[in-house]
Amino acid sequence: MMATRSRVQVKPTVRRAFYTAAAIALAGCSGFQSVLDPKGPRAADVARLHWIFTGIATVVYLIVIGALVYALWRASTRKPFIDEHQYHENPDQAQVMKRGVIIAVSATVIIMFTALVLAVSTGSAIATVRGEKPLRIDIVGHQWWWEVSYDDPIPQNQAKTANEIHVPVGRSVLLKMRSTDVIHSFWAPNLAGKKDLIPGHETVTWFRADTAGIYRGQCAEFCGYQHAKMAFYIVAQPRIDFERWLDQQREPAPKPTDSLTQAGQRVFLSAPCAMCHSIGGTGAYGNIGPDLTHLASRRTIAAGTLPLTTGNLAGWILDPQSIKPGAKMPPTQLDPQSLQALLAYLGTLK
């Protein structure tokens, strides 16, 4: 008689749950925001140290647990010492125990010392900027967004953006960082460890991206209500693409060319927007919120909170507090025509 074989049917919900769990597990080790997926020398040094420490800790753990299991097993299979008198009558046993303690203490000291040397040498290795003439970028932490300035001795060559840091692949980047309000912490796990931004005190860190890609980073120091929505992206691109991007960022905003976008610019300049935001070449020089000169070239709004789409931007302008409660941006009252014109204008700020 032939047995009929049927395929096991897995419920779609179970399958989805499995894939989600697998994705979350994998995301912990690789992907765009992970210390275990280094994309530059600084992060690679830290990841290497992590794996060496994990290896040492694993070996020590296995030895300790092995010794414990052995001791328990041996204790259960033979008579214990009755008293101290008997212990001293068994000099061989005493000798073995003494040697065991000496070996264990020596091993502990050697392991701790090795770990100390590795940690200190890694710390000093990552503290030094590698490569010549790093690109300098100034970062200012705000509740809850990142101001990013590309410094240049020639004023026309300076550029300003927010929450998205473009860097050339293979060139070291020196970040000079400060904060206008509270302590924040810059952390792009794939590229470098954390570095605090401190009010009234400039701090410096550096990284180098060796692989082109988009790496997510975030504030790593609790800084208030929207600390969790203080993310940023590092866009590492080939040098030529980076130069092109930077040239474009240095330009003032494109002039509106049709009646809708011209109306949108008027809305921007007459609504409260211009009191907090700048748009290069328009006379809007507010410096409380992000510079919007090239807003439409960015990937997200509200410090990585939402992808930049017209719909999200509309929601954000009308009611930012429902998206990011506590954010400094107040709601803006606009009639539908004004909103459409404003969105059309902002969409031209490439």
Q: How far is the CB of 230 from ligand CUA (least distance, A)?
A: 4
Instruction: Report the residue number, 141 or 289, with the smaller CB distance to ligand CUA.
Output: 141
Q: Which residue is it, tokens 């090795």?
A: 114
Q: How far is the CB of 308 from ligand CUA (least distance, A)?
A: 21
Token readout for 343 is 């969105």
Specify the 3-state DSSP secondary structure of 13. Answer: helix
Instruction: Report the residue number, 223 or 274, with the smaller CB distance to ligand CUA.
Output: 223
Kindly state the DSSP code that residue 298 receives in the 8-state scheme. Answer: S
Contacting residue, 167, 173, 230, 343, with ligand CUA by CB under 6 A: 230
Instruction: Report the residue number, 169 or 223, with the smaller CB distance to ligand CUA.
Output: 223
The number of residues that bind ligand CUA (CB under 6 A) is 9
Task: Please name every residue paired with 168 in a beta bridge, in sequence order, or none if there are none.
Answer: 237
Burial bucket for residue 246 (CB in 10 Å: 0-12, 13-18, 19+): middle
Contact 318, 311 (CB under 8 A): no
Residues 130 and 137: their CA atoms lie apart, in Å, by: 16
Instruction: Report the residue number, 40 or 141, with the smaller CB distance to ligand CUA.
Output: 141
Contact 346, 265 (CB under 8 A): no
| Site track 1-30 with ligand CUA (rule: CB under 6 A), x = hit | ------------------------------
Q: Which of residues 208-227 bind ligand CUA (CB under 6 A)?
A: 219, 221-223, 227
Instruction: Report the residue number, 153 or 200, with the smaller CB distance to ligand CUA.
Output: 200
Q: How far is the CB of 225 from ligand CUA (least distance, A)?
A: 10
Specify the 3-state DSSP secondary structure of 114. Answer: helix
Q: Which residue is it, tokens 């970028």?
A: 137
**Interhelix angle 259-270/336-347, nearest 10 degrees:** 100
Contacting residue, 160, 166, 184, 208, with ligand CUA by CB under 6 A: 184
Instruction: Report the residue number, 167 or 230, with the smaller CB distance to ligand CUA.
Output: 230
CA nearest 310: which of 319, 321, 301, 320? 301
327 belongs to the binding site for ligand CUA (CB under 6 A): no
Burial bucket for residue 1 (CB in 10 Å: 0-12, 13-18, 19+): exposed
Q: How far is the CB of 174 from ligand CUA (least distance, A)?
A: 21
Instruction: Report the residue number, 50 or 194, with the smaller CB distance to ligand CUA.
Output: 194
Residues that bind ligand CUA (CB under 6 A): 141, 144, 184, 219, 221-223, 227, 230
